[in-house]
Structure 1
Amino acid sequence: MSKIKIAVFGCGAIAQRRHIPEYAENELAELVAFADPILERAQAMADQYGGKAYASYEELLASEDVDAVSVCTPNHLHASMAISAANAGKHVLVEKPMAATAEEGEQMIEAARRNGVFLMVGHNQRLMPPHVKAKEILDSGELGRVLTFRTSFGHPGPEGWSVDGAGSWFFRKDEAVMGAMGDLGVHKSDFIRYLLNDEVAEVAGFIGTVDKKDTDVDDNAACLLRMKSGAIGTLVASWTQYKGGDNSTVLWCERGVMKIGTVDGDEVIVEPTEGLTQTYKVGAMATNEKQVPSGVIDAFLESVSTGTPPAISGEEGLKSLKVILAAFESQRTGQFVKL
């Protein structure tokens, strides 16, 4: 079978460290083109992986015959690029947050539907081995209903991750739209919806810039969530965990507690109210320092090659984005926001 021809829009950190190498390692894919306004960046990827470099994604779409694109650009460009690619008949994998607004998200979903292509959002938290295992245990019913939870994602911030360091677009509100919440919080709203198989009914958010200098994007958020099932919990996103960053989730259930990512080496711990504690060593979660395959690229290529709609669809991405947008609305108004 012929390979799926891939173009990548944006050649910054997420493209260089995740998307591009993971496409290169998957035999279903052939990398054919790269676009970045800093042409040297696109050229460096073309030199390393083969294919052609473009300074503009429009020119790439007009010139190249590709089947699918990865959108790895600053957040404010996600919607326009994804819609252009869908209108050109390409399947789209877009980084999170999928869009800057709910309206943009709807337009992206509509463009993909109208053009008969898939739209997938890069919510890799669902695919990390500890999270897959946790979902399996929870779905088995052995712990009963989830009553309360906490989920958290924090690290020292994008200056250590972005190819532009402290000068990164992550800190410019017109390009980033949102800070730690768009980078990390939306991962956790997606993960908790997925893990609990439940939707967020109501949100309260404290969101602010606590420590980062010369930026007006948020570097910290603490949110309260009430789920449709009645479960209540907290969601934390932070760019100021300068030591001991956190990517953990704890669920207190009817018949015990599940701890995910709280102890190095024991990725999932189940402590039933009756019986022995069980630990599962299922492999680590990806971190900025330690890149393990995200699973996202493989899942996207599998969808395209088999014609199966992606599980992490545009619709799913939009529901997760709406939770974060509601938290910002809560911060703005000082009110709880119902979804």
Structure 2
Amino acid sequence: MIMINVGIIGCGSIGVKRHIAEYTDIENVQLVAFCDPVIERAEAQQEIYGGKVYRDYNELLADKSVDAVSVCTPNYKHAEISIAALKAGKHVLCEKPMGITVDEMDRMIEAEKQSGKQLMVGHNQRLIKEHQVARDYIAEGKLGKIYAFRTTFGHGGPEGWSVDGKDSWFFKKEQAAMGAMGDLGVHKADLMRYILGEEIVDVGGFISQEAKAFSNVDDNAVCILRTESNAVGTLQASWSFNGEEDNSTVIYGEKGVLNLLDDTEHSFIFTSDKGEVIRENYGGIQTNDDEGQSKKSLVMEAFIDALAKEERVPVTAEDARKSVEIILAAFESDRTNKIITGE
């Protein structure tokens, strides 16, 4: 068994509750280094898992015992740290959004090519069974031609679980660049590309900042999307769902409808045009209310498995770039009051 030594860069809520918690459940992973500018956060993890602690990520990257790193930092640092890690000879798992500009994402992709290492982006939605089965249904023609879709990701906002609450970087444009769209919308952009197996070619965006008076980033958005095959749909991202979280997707096709994470009892429902109904419960998806590993996101497991088998990671940088481009197009649409058309 190939052991992989992992370093964590960023020991806030995502780093601790998702990355560290899930790495500890993987047999061939050893957590050997923790880094955070608030050194006490790194030291708290060292007390549990051992290893070394760093305040400066460059010092962690100089640690020859580290094979791979998770980048769990504010959005504006994703590209800088990922590029430095790749140049230092480390594999990288970067939190979403991959980057905040097309230029920096291009530089991340080039750094990966030059390094001979792998860069994966943490899009967990495509890895859960409900969405993988849905992709298979569509690829196999069980829905026929896809006509329309809607996908939603909304909750009350990250202040309830972020280590810094309302003072979190999530709400500061200079560090986050984007709010609910970068946090939630990019997940759904990635998901629709994955499930439908085609690209989004036209984007219209309606984006607002109404729900979080203490913030200077977006907290609500509705996007209108058109695919290569002329399917049309909506994508909603919100930090104003101050009740039950909504992470649902509905796909309408010639031969039936798929309801995904849209029912409290059955996470997968297919209703055919002939009246046949298939209901399954595959376990759903991890939420911010889940503690530790009660529902795995599967991201860390997929990352480590690919490295151990020397296979390509399942969410490549080239792929993740396209999902961020949809979000950037939505912002441009909102700013210009125009539909943004891809090349």
Give the TM-score taking structure 1 as reference length. 0.98
Q: Is the 8 A contact 1:133 1:282 kept in 2?
A: no
Give the corresponding residue for 1:25. 25
Comparing 43-52 with 111-120, greater Cα deviation is found at 43-52
Which of the numbers 305, 308, 317 marks the counterpart of 1:305? 308
Which of the numbers 319, 325, 329 marks the counterpart of 2:328? 325
Give the superposition deviation at 1:19.
0.6
Structure 1: which 5+ residue stretches go unaligned? Answer: none
Give the superposition deviation at 1:265.
2.1
Which secondary structure does the structure 1 equivalent of 2:34 belong to?
Answer: strand
Distance 2:11 2:45 in 1: 8
Give the corresponding residue for 1:270. 270
Give the corresponding residue for 2:178. 178
Q: Which amino acid aligns with 2:5?
A: K
Give the superposition deviation at 1:311.
1.9
Q: Which amino acid aligns with 2:177?
A: V
Equivalent positions of 1:12-51 (< 5 A) are 12-51=12-51
Give the corresponding residue for 1:234. 234
Deviations 1:193-246 (A, max 9, x none): 000001000100001102111221000000000111110000000000001221
Distance 1:166 1:112 in 2: 35
Q: Which amino acid aligns with 1:314?
A: A
Percent identity between matched residues is 48
Give the superposition deviation at 1:157.
0.1
2:85 paired with 1:82: no
Q: Is the 8 A contact 1:203 1:338 kept in 2?
A: yes
Give the corresponding residue for 1:140. 140
Give the superposition deviation at 1:47.
1.1
Give the corresponding residue for 2:190. 190
Q: Which amino acid aligns with 1:5?
A: N
Deviations 1:52-92 (A, max 9, x none): 11111011112342111100000000000000000001111
Q: Is the 8 A contact 2:303 2:314 kept in 1?
A: no
Give the TM-score taking structure 2 as reference length. 0.97
Give the corresponding residue for 1:164. 164
Distance 2:99 2:281 in 1: 35
2:129 paired with 1:129: yes
Q: Which amino acid aligns with 1:233?
A: G
Give the superposition deviation at 1:140.
2.3
Q: Which amino acid aligns with 2:210?
A: V
Which secondary structure does the structure 2 equivalent of 1:25 belong to?
Answer: coil
Give the superposition deviation at 1:275.
3.5
Distance 1:2 1:139 in 2: 35
Q: Which amino acid aligns with 2:339?
A: F
Distance 2:250 2:335 in 1: 28
Which secondary structure does the structure 2 equivalent of 1:233 belong to?
Answer: strand
Give the corresponding residue for 1:114. 114
Distance 2:153 2:92 in 1: 26
Which secondary structure does the structure 1 equivalent of 2:261 belong to?
Answer: strand
Give the corresponding residue for 2:6. 6
Count of aligned pairs? 339
CA spacing shift, 1:244–1:2, aligned 2, 3 Å: closer
Q: Is the 8 A contact 1:270 1:279 kept in 2?
A: yes
Q: Which amino acid aligns with 2:217?
A: V
Distance 2:138 2:315 in 1: 19
Which secondary structure does the structure 2 equivalent of 1:26 belong to?
Answer: coil
Q: Is the 8 A contact 1:184 1:237 kept in 2?
A: yes
Structure 2: which 5+ residue stretches go unaligned? Answer: none
Distance 1:51 1:2 in 2: 19
Give the superposition deviation at 1:276.
1.7
Give the superposition deviation at 1:279.
0.4
Q: Is the 8 A contact 1:70 1:92 kept in 2?
A: yes
Which secondary structure does the structure 1 equivalent of 2:24 belong to?
Answer: helix
Q: Which amino acid aligns with 2:141?
A: G
Distance 2:309 2:245 in 1: 38
Question: Stretches of 4+ moved more than 6 A in 1?
Answer: none
Distance 1:167 1:129 in 2: 35
Q: Is the 8 A contact 2:11 2:72 kept in 1?
A: yes
Give the superposition deviation at 1:137.
2.2
Distance 2:92 2:109 in 1: 10
Q: Which amino acid aligns with 1:310?
A: V
Give the corresponding residue for 1:205. 205
Comparing 45-54 with 112-121, greater Cα deviation is found at 45-54
Q: Is the 8 A contact 2:166 2:214 kept in 1?
A: no
Give the corresponding residue for 1:257. 257
Q: Is the 8 A contact 1:265 1:284 kept in 2?
A: no
Which of the numbers 296, 301, 304 marks the counterpart of 2:299? 296
Comparing 106-115 with 281-290, greater Cα deviation is found at 281-290
Q: Which amino acid aligns with 2:110?
A: E
Deviations 1:267-290 (A, max 9, x none): 011110104211011112111102
Give the superposition deviation at 1:129.
2.4
